[in-house]
Structure 1
Amino acid sequence: MTIGKFAQFILQFISLFLLVRLLKPEDFGIVSAAGVVISLAKLFSLIGVGPVLIQRPHITKSHIKTGFTITLIFSVACASIIFFMSDFIADLLNIKETSLVLKLITIIFIAKGFSTISESLIQRDMNFKIIIKIDIITFILYSSSAILLALLHFNYWALVLALIIQNVLKAILLYIYKPYPLKFQINKKEFKEFIFFGGGFTISKTANQLAKELDKLVVSRSFGAYTLGQYDRAYQLLVAPANLFTKIIDAVLFPAISKMQTQKEKIAYIYEMNLSLISFLTIPSSILMYYLAEEIVYAIYGSNWISIVPIFKILIIGLMFRTSYRISDSYIQALGLVYQYSVIKIIYAFLILVGAWYGKNWGIEGVSIGVLLGILINYLLMTILTIKNLKISIKKLILAHKPVFYAILMAFLSIIIMEKITSFLNLLFMIEILFTFGIYIIFLLLLYLFNSEKFYGEHFLWIKNQMMIPLRNFINK
């Protein structure tokens, strides 16, 4: 599973590397604007049916049939609303091209309506390998279709058509692996379970999704497709490492949690390690990426995208905040604090909207600063709620972050050394990136070899031992 997640990350990177060289910023902006509407409508169309099927101790055929009927009804309803309101939405977004895009992309809702039940049942069976395999297969089809269509000068339609192909194929593959009776049936008891639990789930997820999308709505309305495309690509450079670090945490720590008893003391200990590891990975990385911002943008996106460097520099400051609050999200939901979670996410969405709207007076950089502040406050609120419920002392949490201070020092030393090297040698941007991160890693290894327990502490050593388990298993195979 871990290998599959990294494979997905590499494939996404390769696809992104090629597509940004074939398409223009406005192409990404048009699809991103349509994506704001689609991602929000998806949550309503699924009405939390999946989580009910996954989390209930026992489900019957009646649950499956009722869930399928509800999902399909809501999916068709949302698709119809978007189809007939596409012109109005396009005016709201201030991008007229999204009207026809939204009409066509409603096919995704129908596909999702059929695939949700199969995907939820597969997750319920804990068969994540199948989902990873299907995700990889469909993403390869998406990226190859998008690249081929972009080469044929389909512009933004390359991304739209590839997205439709990906979702339709995924629905087919999921159903082939996990078929279920396609029968329309609504039972009162099961219907109430889906609506009450799924409704609460939808509210919290919608607020969280709004927080992720409202800034794009402001950028689209205020600056148009070109600037939205630039902002979206800069934001993706933040999201990519955040997702990677979260996957590392999932792969290393969450299997260990599942073997422990569900006691708050033990959960609190794991949470401390989660935050410590996230900070250890993200804070020095954000420092190095801020320093190498121009080189990173040039290496990944090419010279045509160099204007997004100021946006990227602002957003990358929030790498730790964005990654850490996602960890807190998981713990809060696991503790069953759905209503507190929903309130914070509503506040988060409001902060993003206000920050982006007020920040637009200073251009796209002002929007980025407003979004950064919203992410920071959400991180603080989620962390406070989590440590309060797990009864973790602030002092203990700070001490768990001791290795982070050494890592930060090593990051700054790496930058100083690299600046000395570049003052004598004119290195290629890719070599400079590799050298800077290489020097940083060498410093960390030297600290580890010198006195690992003194510098890194018990949390880091426990994490290291957990990381060695899958590595040994892989070598033994």
Structure 2
Amino acid sequence: MREVQMLRNIKSGMFWTFLGTFTQTVLQVILLVVMSRILTPQDFGIANLSLAIIAFLSIFSLMGIGPAVIQKQDLTNIQIKIAFFLSITFGLIIVTVLYFGSNLISSFFNTNELQNVIKILTISVIIQSIIVVPESLLNRKLKFKYLATVQIFSYIGYFLFSIIFAMILGNYWAIVISYIMQNVIKFFFIIPKVQMDFKVPLVIRESRELLKFGIGISISRIFNQVALQGDNFVVGKMLGSTSLGNYSRAYQLISMPITIVNTAMDKVMFPILSKEQTNDKLLKQFFIKMLTINVIISLCIIAFLLNLTDIFVLIVLGNQWDTAIIAIKILSLSILFRGGYKISDTILKSKGKVYVHANLQFFYATSVITFTVIGSRWGIQGVSWGVFLSILLNFIIVTSVCMKYLKVKINSLFKGNLKLISLFLFCELLFIITKSKIVFVNSSITSEFLLFIAVFGGFFYYCYWILIKNIKEINIIKVGDK
């Protein structure tokens, strides 16, 4: 009975979370098409830099409280009250730092516009501090359907506000205001759903238990944000806001497809696997199967981005974004490894190995900053190669550590995946050779797309068949076996 219930939770959670993330991604693509024709690369650069700064410093306000609430096996009402109190307290501290430090931040990046933008964005930091515990409780209770609804409606609000304010204001403020409104919508969906007792007892022992895990998560997230946003900071500081606008659009495009899978997996599997954190056999089976699924999905996405980027950018972004094409092709190569290390991250967090994870994230952050600074000498293409190398190294190291904890042999990972990778490389080589030998008579865009389908059609069908097979095998994993 326990096995059946867990599988139901996984299926239901994956479906609703996937639906929410997929809907958001579709809206992101549409919004990207519209906004890229209204705003300039410089507008996107200013908005993305300010949001990256807020995302980084928000880690200190949240202090890993949310994941601690989800991961703790025996959570008491007192701990919930303390978690809420701590999240509000840390949030107010970070808001104060951001508000009064905005001038220093804008001076560091040589972007005067950042000062007022960061001050306004502190509103979103306060909102996130309030909703983090209620949202985590909904995750803990596996309320994935409701959370997916919140995700969809909040992003619909962001979508509509972005277009409206872009047409009215015509600058980066459209993105900033819409981001705040997205958080406001989430607030009004989540707070009424969870009853919170605001009387906070001062219990040091309970606080220490939450913070022990929470601080470990925070350290991991700090380094992870340095890794995720470090390239933006480097481009913004060394290449300027216009280059950052081009680079951030390229990174967003390659992130969208794999985010659908990664977000669904992390949001669903983390709370569920946390309940089975001592069941190494179960974790091992999921680890192997999810890595195979990641290889299948990633190779299909890479095939599209690597070969049809020119067409995609022209249709989606327009002519003014053609400098992002090479960056997209380079960054697309990292999709396979990015998805892979995310799976290992989820396993390590579910087992409570937050300080091991923090050490790994420190290395990842260091490599991103180092390689992107070196690569910035060659513009956004050099930065893209720096990010690719960092993600590759992080994948190798994090996956190796996860394999050690789960006692997974390396041949278990290569089994079946080598055939997929070999077939992909064969199709890619065939497409490149065929494309170079053919002179297109009619529309080069249509002809190139048809050639792509002709060469990769069999590969996509094979991937679909293997994907269905692995999903069915996940459904028969025995939860009770240890």
TM norm. shorter chain > 0.5: yes
Paired position in structure 1 for 2:132: 116
- Relative to structure 1, is the Cα distance of residues 248 and 426 closer, same or farther in structure 2, using a 3 angstrom cutoff? farther
The structural deviation recorded for 1:76 is 0.8
Moved more, 260-269 or 136-145: 260-269
The structural deviation recorded for 1:208 is 1.0
Paired position in structure 2 for 1:146: 162
What SS does the aligned partner of 1:328 have? helix
442, 461, 464: which one aligns with 1:425: 442
159, 165, 169: which one aligns with 2:175: 159
Distance 1:393 1:19 in 2: 47
Paired position in structure 2 for 1:23: 39
Asked if the contact 1:115/1:172 (under 8 Å) is kept, the reply is: no
Paired position in structure 1 for 2:385: 369
- What does residue range 229-308 of structure 1 map to in structure 2 within 5 Å? 229-246=245-262, 263-308=279-324
What SS does the aligned partner of 1:283 have? helix
- Relative to structure 1, is the Cα distance of residues 132 and 437 closer, same or farther in structure 2, using a 3 angstrom cutoff? farther
- Relative to structure 1, is the Cα distance of residues 440 and 467 closer, same or farther in structure 2, using a 3 angstrom cutoff? farther
Paired position in structure 1 for 2:412: 396
- What do the CA deviations read for 1:253-274 (whole angstroms, capped 9, x no partner)? 9999899996434433332222
24, 34, 41: which one aligns with 1:8: 24
Q: Does 1:405 align with 2:422?
A: yes
Q: Does 1:182 align with 2:189?
A: no
Asked if the contact 1:296/1:433 (under 8 Å) is kept, the reply is: no
**Sequence identity (%):** 30
Asked if the contact 1:53/1:124 (under 8 Å) is kept, the reply is: yes
Q: TM-score, normalised by structure 2?
A: 0.87
- What does residue range 8-157 of structure 1 map to in structure 2 within 5 Å? 8-157=24-173
Distance 1:126 1:288 in 2: 34
The structural deviation recorded for 1:421 is 6.7
Alignment length, in residue pairs?
459
Q: List alignment gaps of at least 5 residues for structure 1.
A: 470-477
Distance 2:233 2:414 in 1: 37
Distance 2:386 2:380 in 1: 10
What SS does the aligned partner of 1:95 have? coil
The structural deviation recorded for 1:194 is 2.5
Paired position in structure 2 for 1:472: none
The structural deviation recorded for 1:352 is 0.7
The structural deviation recorded for 1:206 is 1.1
Q: Does 1:191 align with 2:198?
A: no
The structural deviation recorded for 1:190 is 2.2
Which amino acid in 2 is paired with 1:296? Answer: F
Distance 1:426 1:121 in 2: 54
Which amino acid in 2 is paired with 1:177? Answer: K
Moved more, 82-91 or 147-156: 147-156
Asked if the contact 2:39/2:170 (under 8 Å) is kept, the reply is: no
Which amino acid in 2 is paired with 1:9? Answer: T
Paired position in structure 1 for 2:6: none
Asked if the contact 1:311/1:364 (under 8 Å) is kept, the reply is: yes
Paired position in structure 2 for 1:345: 361
Distance 1:322 1:35 in 2: 22
Distance 2:129 2:271 in 1: 31
- Relative to structure 1, is the Cα distance of residues 196 and 439 closer, same or farther in structure 2, using a 3 angstrom cutoff? same
The structural deviation recorded for 1:400 is 3.0
Which amino acid in 1 is paired with 2:206? Answer: E
Distance 1:39 1:191 in 2: 25
Distance 1:108 1:39 in 2: 10
The structural deviation recorded for 1:313 is 1.7
- Relative to structure 1, is the Cα distance of residues 33 and 251 closer, same or farther in structure 2, using a 3 angstrom cutoff? closer
- What do the CA deviations read for 1:161-210 (whole angstroms, capped 9, x no partner)? 11111112211221012231233543222221222221111111111111
Q: List alignment gaps of at least 5 residues for structure 2.
A: 1-15, 477-482
Q: Does 1:219 align with 2:226?
A: no
The structural deviation recorded for 1:130 is 0.9
Asked if the contact 1:310/1:365 (under 8 Å) is kept, the reply is: yes
What SS does the aligned partner of 1:106 have? helix
Asked if the contact 1:252/1:466 (under 8 Å) is kept, the reply is: no
